[in-house]
Structure 1
Amino acid sequence: MPRSTLSVAIITLNEEANLARTLASVHFADEVVVVDSGSTDRTSEIAKSFGAKVFTEPWKGFAKQKNSAIEKCVGTWVLSLDADEELTVELQREIGQMLEVDPQALPQIDGYRLRLRHVFLGRWMRHGGYYPDFKLRLFRRMTSSGAVCFTDRPVHESVQIAGGVETMKNDFLHHGYPDLNIYLEHMNRYSSLGGQIVAAKGKVSRSWVAFCWNVALVPILTFVWNFGFRLGFLDGREGLLLHLYHSAYISWKYAKAWQIGSHAGDT
């Protein structure tokens, strides 16, 4: 019985602290494609030591960079991972079992959602809406509708698939925020990108009421909902910090959208 092949697509920039863990968790893949955007550390060396195909390209944005990695893959299935993510042993086995099934037996399935487990300051965030966080990351490279790719947007890019999608039972982990400095730097950068998206939609809080609602009240209500009603407090101090700073991210995003709109009005 024929076995489906698996390609893993990863984009990197100075990920020597994370990449070996990620690559070790996909040891069963038929190929690993790494598109690096100019790392100055040992990222490329680590990738090559695991047998990955490494390409160096200028940064084009999250979606375009990931799509470039996907375009270089040749497997029947593509698993798109970030360099700070890791498959659990259980998910490795589950994906391996799927690959052993005759490809003709699953013609209606073009993708799988995976259950993302966020690890914040070393603690698994089990509550507050953070788990399970379903991500469509495993998909056929080619479907009846053509090649699969990420939607082109500044941040929070996602895969769109016209065919059938199912959900796998096991988790993969996100180790993106081992300390607060990294988290706050990321939230500052992502809120700038998110502000651009909001401003492009015309939601720039021109009125005083809209400004207060988006910049102050929405973040407060989000914190109360997730930390209180969705039991985020059960994740301890780490949960408090995560929800508090996530609410700040929302405020920054709308404030930056307002700033973009204000500058546009001056021109």
Structure 2
Amino acid sequence: MNKQGISVIIHTLNEEKNLVNCLESVKWADDIVLIDNYSDDKTVEIAKSFTDRIFFCERVGFIEPARKFAVEQAKNEWVLIVDADEMVPLKMKQKLESIVADDLGDVVSIPHNNYFFGSKMERTGWGPLQDTHYRFYKKSLVELSDKIHSDPVIAESARIISIEDPDEGFVHFNYFTVEQFVEKMNRYTSIEAEGLFDAGDDLNSKQLALRVFDEFKLRYISFKGYKEGFRGLSMSLMMAAYRLTVLMKLKLMRNYSSKKPQKEVRKDYQKIADGIIEEYED
């Protein structure tokens, strides 16, 4: 058996409430790289109890640039990407070590056991085997992008395998409250809309509407959200609303030819306000 080291990569921003659980579940790793977006809480203080490999990256509103930088700092060829609100169960650790020791693959897709608002998601696109990601791989065979929601570029020569047992996947404490989900949705939809605006996306109204419908159909029908009752329905609608919000923001940007249309909208409102004021002066 070939004993190789594993570098764990963790991105943080004000994660003091999650980080201890995460780090306790990966302290077996011989290299823990933590990349922090200048947290305002005790995140870095907590991290120092587990690793001295702490780096900092400016906040941009999404994770990809920091993650890309952190992977470049890894000491080992094998890297495991872990979010601060995730944990690595013992069965998952043992599975990853066996993959490395027995040379079973180069890039590994890992299931996620997602918890939303206190309960585990089984379908709606967040079931363990519906929500899988390439989080364990040889870094020389995978190229990361700094674009939001971008997929890794995997070398053609890489052997890709998937973990099929949910018990050998991440436990992800995803959303604690609806407010948390909505806040993240607002932030991410702005970033996506700005990206579409920069790309000159010229979808018409019918195409835009189809995107919203397709998102709901995917979550509720294809991913069987209907089997999760109210939660499946509500999360399918929320994700359709996510897509709709992106498109609404994009349309507003187009109307004012600006990624930051607030000032232009305010100017229009002020013209209306000035007209009302003038009525009193006449």
- Scaled to the shorter chain, the TM-score interval is 0.7 to 0.9
Q: Which residue of 2 aligns with 1:73?
A: 74
| Structure 1 residue 113 displacement after superposition | 0.9
Q: Any stretches of 5+ residues in structure 2 without a counterpart?
A: 265-282
- Aligned counterparts of 1:25 and 1:44: Cα–Cα separation in 2: 17
Q: Which residue of 2 aligns with 1:257?
A: 250
| Structure 1 residue 221 displacement after superposition | 4.5
> Does the 8 Å CA contact 2:68/2:146 hold for their aligned counterparts?
no
Q: Which residue of 1 aligns with 2:194?
A: 196
Which amino acid in 2 is paired with 1:122?
A: G
1:212-231, aligned counterparts within 5 Å? 212-214=206-208, 216-228=209-221, 230-231=223-224
| Larger CA deviation: 219-228 vs 65-74 | 219-228
> Does the 8 Å CA contact 2:34/2:54 hold for their aligned counterparts?
yes
Q: Which residue of 2 aligns with 1:100?
A: 101
Q: Deviations over 1:104-131 (max 9, x none)?
A: x45xx32111112222112222112322
CA spacing shift, 1:263–1:69, aligned 2, 3 Å: same
| Structure 1 residue 250 displacement after superposition | 0.4
- Aligned counterparts of 1:185 and 1:202: Cα–Cα separation in 2: 26
Q: Which residue of 2 aligns with 1:91?
A: 92
| Structure 1 residue 173 displacement after superposition | 2.6
Q: Which residue of 2 aligns with 1:167?
A: 162
Q: Which residue of 137, 144, 153 corresponds with 1:139?
A: 137
Which amino acid in 2 is paired with 1:167?
A: S
CA spacing shift, 1:243–1:50, aligned 2, 3 Å: same
Q: Which residue of 84, 106, 109 corresponds with 1:110?
A: 106
CA spacing shift, 1:200–1:117, aligned 2, 3 Å: farther
Q: Any stretches of 5+ residues in structure 1 without a counterpart?
A: none
Q: Deviations over 1:133-182 (max 9, x none)?
A: 12011111224xxxx331121x2133211122111233213222110010
Q: Which residue of 1 aligns with 2:12?
A: 12
- Aligned counterparts of 1:11 and 1:98: Cα–Cα separation in 2: 24
> Does the 8 Å CA contact 1:22/1:83 hold for their aligned counterparts?
yes
CA spacing shift, 1:247–1:134, aligned 2, 3 Å: same
Alignment RMSD: 2.4
| Structure 1 residue 75 displacement after superposition | 1.2
| Larger CA deviation: 168-177 vs 52-61 | 52-61
- Aligned counterparts of 1:53 and 1:174: Cα–Cα separation in 2: 24
- Aligned counterparts of 2:202 and 2:85: Cα–Cα separation in 1: 33
- Aligned counterparts of 1:59 and 1:8: Cα–Cα separation in 2: 21
- SS state at 1:67 partner: helix
CA spacing shift, 1:137–1:113, aligned 2, 3 Å: same
| Structure 1 residue 52 displacement after superposition | 5.0
CA spacing shift, 1:241–1:89, aligned 2, 3 Å: farther
Which amino acid in 1 is paired with 2:120?
A: W
Of structures 1 and 2, the one with the larger relative CO (CA 8 A, separation 6+) is 1
| Structure 1 residue 187 displacement after superposition | 0.6
Q: Deviations over 1:70-114 (max 9, x none)?
A: 11110120111221122233212101222333xxx45xx321111
Q: Which residue of 1 aligns with 2:50?
A: 50
* Percent of residue pairs bearing the same amino acid type: 28
Which amino acid in 2 is paired with 1:58?
A: E
- Aligned counterparts of 1:8 and 1:229: Cα–Cα separation in 2: 34
| Structure 1 residue 185 displacement after superposition | 0.3
Q: With structure 1 as the length reference, what TM-score do the two structures score?
A: 0.85
Higher strand share: 1
| Larger CA deviation: 27-36 vs 166-175 | 166-175
Q: Which residue of 223, 232, 235 corresponds with 2:228?
A: 235
Q: With structure 2 as the length reference, what TM-score do the two structures score?
A: 0.80
- SS state at 1:17 partner: coil
Larger radius of gyration: 2
Which amino acid in 2 is paired with 1:67?
A: K
- SS state at 1:193 partner: helix
Q: Which residue of 2 aligns with 1:126?
A: 122
Between the two proteins, the alignment pairs up a number of residues equal to: 252
Which amino acid in 1 is paired with 2:162?
A: T
- Aligned counterparts of 1:263 and 1:98: Cα–Cα separation in 2: 53
> Does the 8 Å CA contact 1:204/1:260 hold for their aligned counterparts?
no
Which amino acid in 1 is paired with 2:144?
A: F
Which amino acid in 1 is paired with 2:153?
A: Q
